[in-house]
């Protein structure tokens, strides 16, 4: 029986890992699992060797203050992995923890395959890390297609698999009438999952809601919590003067709440993609202490924090970071957008185009057999080269300027629009 050890470092990684393992369990029940994870992996019956909160730190100063504890946890994790003796170490995100563990594991036992999911963002900062990864990572699974060039350059085996949050279209069917007045419009609030984030952002978000309530009584604010931080949120908010709010931690209810929201205010991070996939307009907020910010600013190579903005190289989703992350600025941004439906529509159109492209590329990448299929149809390589020229000519109107090998499918068409063009070209040439 094969063994897989799943290694995560924070709640978002736990959620991503669970989406993979859930599908793997459905196709193969002959695998034994162990993990460092949270509630999502636990829901699949996989017990964590210790509580995920013990290693969830954020910011350079937080890491420095806990450096000895982190080192101890890294060594303990390596020890437990070696006891488990897995065939595969499946590490997910949190590279400063998970890849440090993976490197030590590989040095001890070269036969353990290291598969890392969610590539370190070398396109944002510390690109030199790529050279190091090739020494111990056997395969890298990528969320976004543009990441490939960084890992291809260093001959690290990789596969663009797409983002599971962009594929999740499950809709919950739960009666929300007991939670929310049907006459009120929902604004979803995502204050983060780490205590360090919540402690900074919750007072700001609380003041923002007070300003919104002063302007209008038409909105109801839902704080999206985890099981572990719900109590923290409730204890803070119950002592405030807020009204028209609720704290929800149930995953099914949160999914439906988000789908019914007219707007979302979210901490920068993975949650933004869930919001985008739900077709909910939003803004992104984030604030860390000044020391951490100055260090990060000196290292980061991109202009934006949000992945949708990074892909588009412009601000599709407004970002209020550091000094701009305050109650008044959040209020002004939200109020302005809600007062201009055309801007909300434009944001969603841009987001949907980005997601549609990402999904199409993900699907295309997963059908790598296409070249073999068409090679067989073309009879030989020379024919294939000629036919390829014909196809590229027919598809030139749909070419994306930034990439010679990528074509944009018209929104009203499905993938058969392209495959039919390819098939017609093959049939025409081979029947001449």
Burial class (CB in 10 A: 0-12, 13-18, 19+), 131: exposed
Q: Which residue has the higher pLDDT, 26 or 381?
A: 26
Residue 193: CATH number of its domain: 3.40.50.2000
Same domain, 211 and 273: yes
266: left (phi over 0), alpha (psi -120 to 50) or beta: beta
What would the pLDDT profile of 216-237 be if each residue is shown by its tens digit? 889 999 999 888 788 888 888 8
- Rounded to whole angstroms, the Cα distance separating 409 from 287 reads 38
* Pick from 188, 194, 175: nearest CA to 247: 188
pLDDT of residue 106: 96
Same domain, 198 and 98: no
pLDDT of residue 405: 55
Same domain, 7 and 139: yes
Range of the domain at 384: 367-431
Cα distances from 170 to residues 77, 150, 165, 227, 251, in angstroms, run 34, 33, 10, 21, 12
Domain count for the chain, please give it.
3
- Rounded to whole angstroms, the Cα distance separating 281 from 334 reads 10
In sequence order, what E strands does 274-425 have? 282-286, 319-321
Same domain, 87 and 199: no
Is 360 inside a domain boundary? no
- Rounded to whole angstroms, the Cα distance separating 122 from 129 reads 7
pLDDT of residue 124: 47
Is 169 inside a domain boundary? no
Domain boundary among 164, 197, 220: 164
Is 361 inside a domain boundary? no
Looking at mean pLDDT, say which of 32-46, 194-208, 228-242, 373-387 comes out highest.
Answer: 32-46
Same domain, 220 and 311: yes
* DSSP codes of every residue in 71-137: HHHHHHHHHHHHHH--SEEEEES-HHHHHHHHHHHHHH-TTSEEEEES---TTTS-TTHHHHHTTT-
- Rounded to whole angstroms, the Cα distance separating 101 from 89 reads 10
Q: Which residue has the higher pLDDT, 362 or 387?
A: 387
Same domain, 150 and 8: yes
* Pick from 295, 263, 292: nearest CA to 279: 263
- Rounded to whole angstroms, the Cα distance separating 55 from 95 reads 12
Same domain, 210 and 341: yes
Burial class (CB in 10 A: 0-12, 13-18, 19+), 97: buried
Same domain, 29 and 122: yes
Same domain, 21 and 53: yes
- Rounded to whole angstroms, the Cα distance separating 78 from 81 reads 5
Is 130 inside a domain boundary? yes
- Of the pLDDT bands very low, low, confident and very high (cuts 50, 70, 90), residue 293 is low
Same domain, 295 and 383: no
How much is the mean pLDDT over the chain? 80
pTM of the model: 0.55
State what percent of residues in the chain have pLDDT above 90.
34
Same domain, 221 and 149: no
Is 177 inside a domain boundary? no
Is 372 inside a domain boundary? yes
Domain boundary among 352, 380, 406: 352
Is 64 inside a domain boundary? yes
Is 222 inside a domain boundary? yes
């Amino acid at each position: 029986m094969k063994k897989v050890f799943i290694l995560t470092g924070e709640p978002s990684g736990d959620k991503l890992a669970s989406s993979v393992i859930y599908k793997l369990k459905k196709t193969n029940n002959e695998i034994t699992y162990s993990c460092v994870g949270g509630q999502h992996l636990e829901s699949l019956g996989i017990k964590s060797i210790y509580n995920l909160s013990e290693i969830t730190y954020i910011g350079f100063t937080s890491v420095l203050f806990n450096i000895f504890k982190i080192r101890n946890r890294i060594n303990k994790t390596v020890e437990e992995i070696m006891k488990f003796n897995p065939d595969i170490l499946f590490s997910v995100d949190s590279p400063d923890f998970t890849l440090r563990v993976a490197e030590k594991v590989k040095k001890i036992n070269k036969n353990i395959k290291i598969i890392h999911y969610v590539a370190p963002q070398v396109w944002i900062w510390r690109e030199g890390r790529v050279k190091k990864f090739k020494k111990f990572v056997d395969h890298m699974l990528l969320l976004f297609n543009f990441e490939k060039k960084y890992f291809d350059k260093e001959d690290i085996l990789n596969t663009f698999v797409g983002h599971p949050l962009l594929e999740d279209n499950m809709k919950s069917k739960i009666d929300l009438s007991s939670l929310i007045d049907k006459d009120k419009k929902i604004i979803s609030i995502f204050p983060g999952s780490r205590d360090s984030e919540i402690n900074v952002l919750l007072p700001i978000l609380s003041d923002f809601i007070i300003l919104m309530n002063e302007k209008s009584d038409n909105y109801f604010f839902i704080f999206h919590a985890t099981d572990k931080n719900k109590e923290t949120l409730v204890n803070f908010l119950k002592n405030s003067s807020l009204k028209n709010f609720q704290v929800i931690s149930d995953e099914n209810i949160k999914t439906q709440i988000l789908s019914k929201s007219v707007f979302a205010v979210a901490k920068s991070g993975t949650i933004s993609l869930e919001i985008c996939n739900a077709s909910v307009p939003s803004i992104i907020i984030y604030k860390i202490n000044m020391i951490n910010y100055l260090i990060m600013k000196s290292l980061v190579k991109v202009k934006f924090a949000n992945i949708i903005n990074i892909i588009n190289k412009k601000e599709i989703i407004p970002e209020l970071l550091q000094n701009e992350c305050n109650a008044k600025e959040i209020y002004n941004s939200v109020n302005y957008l809600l007062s201009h439906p055309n801007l909300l529509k434009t944001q969603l159109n841009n987001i949907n185009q980005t997601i549609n492209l990402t999904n199409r590329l993900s699907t295309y990448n997963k059908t790598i057999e296409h070249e073999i299929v068409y090679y067989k149809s073309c009879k030989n390589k020379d024919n294939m080269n000629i036919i390829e020229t014909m196809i590229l000519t027919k598809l030139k109107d749909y070419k994306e300027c930034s990439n010679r090998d990528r074509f944009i499918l018209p929104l009203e068409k499905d993938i058969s629009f392209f495959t039919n063009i390819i098939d017609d070209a093959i049939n025409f040439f081979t029947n001449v």
